[in-house]
Chains A and B, each alone.
Chain A
Amino acid sequence: MESTRHVPARRLAWLRGELTRWQAEGLIDEGAARRIEAGYVPGRRLSLERLALLLGGGFLGVGLIWLVAANLDQLSPLLRLAGITVIWIAAAVVGETVSSRGGRQAARLVSVFAAGGVIFQAAQSLQVPAYSSSLLGVWAGGALAYAYATAATGPLVMALAIASAWYGWLIGEQNGGAAAIAVGMLAAGGVSSAIANLHDSGRLARFAGPWRLAGVVLALSGLFVAAFPGVSAGPAFWSPALGAGLAAAGIAIGAVVFLTGRDGRQEVLAVTSMIVVALLLVAWTPLGTPWYTGEFSAEQTARAVVGTLAYVLAAAWFAVVAARRDLSHLVYLVTAALVLFVIIQSFAVFQPLLTGAALFLALGVVFIGSGFLVNYGRRRLMEAMR
């Protein structure tokens, strides 16, 4: 007995078009086409009810954390801790038992927030010193375990966001400066991309999406900072946290190289090259006036150009990966990141050389030109192969 599969409406339209074409080419007959089409149903778009539930879950969660922060001492600390623990466990139970899918998602969201509330309430009651990153790390680890236990993408997205914030904060605590944070973000991006590729062929294939998104955001953020003029490695650059991050990236990337196919290897090796480029960029400290004075030495300009090129190439690579996997939201994200970068860099760096508008025009011409070239080359290749 087959089960019907939900697919987005656009994909269903494509399938119908393909079925018509295959019938015309004589590959399948009408009966087969009808049977194939019957197996697919258009999926519902994000309905209003589900949106309301998710939004409600988010607001409830943030409200819980805020409540913990308010430190109401009308209730004793033990009572407050018991209260938020009950909410946490209740939300987790509701997330598994309720029948509506939207309700389950909302409950899991609340559960992740409430887990954070439990951690912060306990820390508050026990007077754990403020400004320690370890609490965020504990929250992230717990949320990650919960995401894998429930096989739900909502908690995974939250866990990845919290983990990224934790790692960034941890590196910042080591006083390595912006350079260390940039390289640290890239190392985290490497780990995320590697794990995304490991998920692609496994049981939890839908977890690959959030991991890949995290990888792109972290890697581009890291390169963004590293490409900025004036960001260079100070004496406190190397720290145990940064070393551990790079080691973790190395192990994860190695695992992908050995365990997955060509696509996976390409992706992680691209991220590896980004990490190396960032390390070289922060090691490069050209002499000259500080960047905010607007006057640059030739070496500073060279570094700025190299940094910009590296970022643009990385963004273009991620756009290719996203297009290949049909992830349109990722393509939009990368485009937005590119635009943001060019705007900021043009104000900071290229004012003497090229105004922002001229830079956009130049880049546009370059991309269109290269697109035509690639297309032409691909068609010639296909013709030669026939």
Chain B
Amino acid sequence: MNSRSVFSSRPVLVAAALVLQAVLLVVAVAPQLSARVTGMEYRLAVGLVDPIDPLRGAYAQLDYPGLPRADGRSGPVYVPLARDGGLWKGSGVMRQRPASGPYIACESAGYARLSCGIDSLFLSQDKALRAQNELGGNRMAAIVKIDATGNAAVVGLAPR
């Protein structure tokens, strides 16, 4: 019917666009995906706040008392983990990737909390309210999966 190659026909182009969108999606969530699939579980002490993200529903913003604050310089940092009873906590902030041991790769803004990919936990509206009360009492620990390159993802909460 037309002389254009099959690769520029409309269905193929649309399919290619859909595939591209899927690839972009995987790229966007790759760190959390990698942590969940290949990571090992660690428990970190956790506290909180509770705002609402307009595009994604209720979430609890998590604060980790065991992890260090930013030390003034911005950029990528690494937090090695050390045992602390039944939980783990961060032992300092490093600029180079540690050679061994569990560590989390974080982004430092130079001030306030480090951003480690584990800052929020999505919950339905009613669960968010209950979680807020329990987290506020400082009785909870976050179950975090961390993979070999420091990507971390929150998978749930548990009592300390």
Interface residues of B (CB under 8 A from A): 10-11, 13-14, 16-18, 20-21, 24-25, 27-29, 32-33, 36, 53-59, 61, 115, 117-125, 127, 153-155
| A73 proximity list for chain B (CB < 8 A) | 124, 127
Beta-carbon contacts under 8 Å, A118-154 to B:
118-120, 122-131, 134-135, 138, 141-142, 145-146, 148-151
The 8 tightest CB contacts between A and B, nearest first, are A142-B21, A149-B17, A71-B57, A149-B13, A126-B32, A130-B53, A69-B57, A138-B28
| A129 proximity list for chain B (CB < 8 A) | 115, 117-120
| A320 proximity list for chain B (CB < 8 A) | none
Closest to A129 in B: B119
A138 B25 Cβ-Cβ under 8 A: yes
B115 A69 Cβ-Cβ under 8 A: no
| A92 proximity list for chain B (CB < 8 A) | 14, 18
Considering residues B55, B115, B124, B154, which has the most beta carbons from chain A within 10 angstroms of its beta carbon?
B55
| B17 proximity list for chain A (CB < 8 A) | 142, 145-146, 148-150
| A128 proximity list for chain B (CB < 8 A) | 28-29, 32, 117
Say how far B42's CB is from chain A's closest CB, in angstroms: 15
Whether A382 is near chain B, meaning CB under 8 Å from some CB there, is no
Closest to A108 in B: B14
Say how far B58's CB is from chain A's closest CB, in angstroms: 7
Assembled-state Cα–Cα distance A146/B24 (Å): 13
Whether A188 is near chain B, meaning CB under 8 Å from some CB there, is no
Whether A256 is near chain B, meaning CB under 8 Å from some CB there, is no
Assembled-state Cα–Cα distance A137/B33 (Å): 19
Which one of B14, B25, B153 lies within 8 Å of A127 (CB-CB)?
B153
| A65 proximity list for chain B (CB < 8 A) | 55
B14 A146 Cβ-Cβ under 8 A: yes
